[in-house]
Structure 1
Amino acid sequence: MPHPIRTKVFVVLATACLIGAVSSTGSASEPAPQTITKSLKHTCLFGEVPRPVAFEVTATLPTAVPKGQPVPIENFSLKFALPKEALPPETTSVEGGVSLDLTGKRKAIHSKETKLPVVLDIAATPVTSEELTLTATGKPGALAMTTSGRLIISFGAPELALNTKDAKDTKARVKCTLDADQDAALGSVAVIPPKSEEDTPATTPDGDEETQAPKAKADEPDPNVIVVPLDPLTVNGTSTIVKLGAKAPIGPSVVIAGHVLLDAVDPTAPLISEGEAVLPPVQVAFLGFGFMPVNATAEFLPVDYQINNLVPVKAVVTAEPDGLTYGRSHIEVYARLSNVKVNGAPLDVGTKCMSSTPISIDLYGPYDAFSGGVLKTDPNSPDPALRGFTIPSFAGCGAAEPLSPLFTGMSSGPMNQAEVTVALLFPKPE
């Protein structure tokens, strides 16, 4: 049996534990672009008068791009309202622009930032009420990152250039600062290794090399760590929900942006495997309290779901005395329910019906470097963390009435079980 440092094993877990499902269906799919809308409160200085202004930022980001390729930021706009008293007297219309920086930073300790200057236009807008709503639009361009990982894109404080139609045709510049206790991150993009590790420059439709995408600075690589990119994986399995006494399918799900970290100094060190899982929504059906037919859409979201829709996965692979390599994986996801029907009648649970805390799952099992393996919980394991996972209580359920206790009573509790089979998405020929 070869030592794990030579096997280049990649063990990942993408566990979609279907809350109380009797049957479910899901499909593996390429990640779709993500449209993000976020409101950020600022204080803007009009002359010497500070005024609160909330900017509603909208942008479309790709979910994943190959390393070195541009990360396009599309459909970008800012929407904000100004009180009439912030404008010069007798103002009839306002036009102008907005300038700001978008920041790209890799999700890593000591990662460096790259700024992308953005200029937006405000079309002439008539003043017709006590509050003027303005929209600024433009094309920010793109960022690019030369290192695989997650690129987080954040919003910088804007500066307004306002040209008002009034008695003096006033031109004013208004600087804004982000209010405290807010996360300026708009979203994140997985930067994955290309099929070939040869660096291919991005090109325009005319075939010229792309030059307008500033590249995020790569962190200094650790000379003692070898990074091996890996092919996409598929995950299938089952989960058992104790309160319902039912088994439910898991997946199929797809893992992308996979790589394994090899210790170049210590050949006996464990392999650290990392990747990100695409967990598409699934339709679930179950009997609540053993008699009430319930249908719903279940989503499994990363801990930072506000800015990200890919679930990070990490596993440690070691060689055991029996000569096999074993993988241990840990995953944390929120569960969110929507489109709920009880006995065929719609039940309005709102948009924030979620587990109150992330579901924490540990799995362990033998894993073959080339053909995959089986990872699972075990109620008889000597390790308490591997004996099962707990479904926490639900919160935020119910648009018109409190429904969280209903879903908590139906499904929450300990000692739920999961088992997944991991395999190459595109099996290699023998």
Structure 2
Amino acid sequence: MAARVRRTTRHSSRFAAGSILIAAATFLPGAESAADAPGLEVPVDYTCRFPSGSHAMTAVITGSIPADGTAGRPVEPRDIALALELPAPAVAELAGLGAGSVSARADLTVVHTLGDETATANWSGLSASAQGITGQEQVTLHAEGSVPTATFGSAGTATLSASDLTLFLSPLQEDGSPTEPAAIEVECGLTDGSDGTLATVVVAEAEGEGEGEGAEAEPEKPVENGGTAEPEEAAPGAPRIEGRLPAGAREKLEAARQDVEALADGPDPCPFPPIPLPTPADTYVAGYTNVEKMDGAALLGPAHLNVTLMKEYIPDPCTSTFKVLSEAEFEYGGRRQLPPAQGTFLTYGFMPTTATMELIQVGGPAQIESVSVTSDPAMPEYTTVTAEFDLRIRDVEVNGVPLDVGAGCHTVKPIKQTLHAFGTGNPPSGYTVNRGGSMDGETYIPAFTGCGADEDVSSLLTSSISGGGNYIKITQAPLCVLNDTASVDCPAKKPTPER
């Protein structure tokens, strides 16, 4: 049975009891800056599992992290980069795929420790531009990007240590097109005996706070799949961890929506006339969708998406907002659809059923509406994506026995899909149309019709599949804007779907 998408409000960093807050921030008011901190250059030894086998690899982590901090104030790492020397067997493997160059994304787990408390944060999305591999035995990739800040809630000596590392290699042929496969995931663990310590930070007591004022942290709350649940309410001074998405992103999304609705009921707005600034771009999306009745999930994509940015740009100085309307269309095999997706489920909770699903885009292009509030220094942006799809089912097997549903088995009416996402521009976090990220929503699957070659089994599929509560989560890669093909985001990359 396929695993279900985990529906959760957890962020990319792990929530844990303790006095450490990890939050996405490139520039935060009051942050302890690393500008004057001594340079960081730490080699960390890993064992990495490439398709050709496990190989030793050293990641040299550079940048700067302040040596001193104050409880309650963010400590801000700067200029973080990883130099990764691919071993000769891995380079030979890429060359064997016909690759002339390779780019990469690096996701590094960093453990923050203060006293008895630990917290993990994802230094994810560190990007390495393409490097040529033709005629090379070894290739060094340089990955860099912004990373989360750390706020320590009490005084003491904190350490930051590198832990697991995941690489997503994107080999390209000499003409710039992807190889087959187009992406290779490489998981790396610390070599036995390797010391991943990156820095120590001496955290001073915040002014006006005495010793012993914190509260004991509540124990972590276990959840399924070995994760931890976000504490309902942290005790005063107790540690928290938050991920790269803003805390309470979904709540902020709802609050922003209510604010815009309130503006509509207030004084007459004064938006400027829509300004057409159509800009072609493309990207890939991938994700998972639950089929609630069948207790499983199906992989969607990676799917190619042609985007027209800024079909309309509407500034409104009266409400301190601006709205951007864009459009998108899926493309697969010359048709407006996602690639066929095969899933295995438990029909009625006990009968294994395999089917191929096709989502064919119908009606007009997908509508992308992004609203930004310019009066907020964080530049919050919330996005709504709406599209319609015809869901078709074929190649059905029930308990290993083929069920001929014919060539015209589909939903009686289109699926109306709406996805929501939230992000900020300062610091960059969450989802924006240009940067990409994750968005989610729910799907209602209508009844089926036209199913069955010899006898009509439409009602059987309707009873086992149709209905609401089908959670969907989609991850979008950054846009490749076609008038800026020199960007590191071009050609468009395929994202790793998140559950």
Question: Do Structure 1 and Structure 2 share a fold, with TM-score over 0.5?
Answer: no
**TM-score of the aligned structures, taking structure 1 as reference length:** 0.42
> RCO higher in 1 or 2 (8 Å CA, sep ≥ 6)?
1
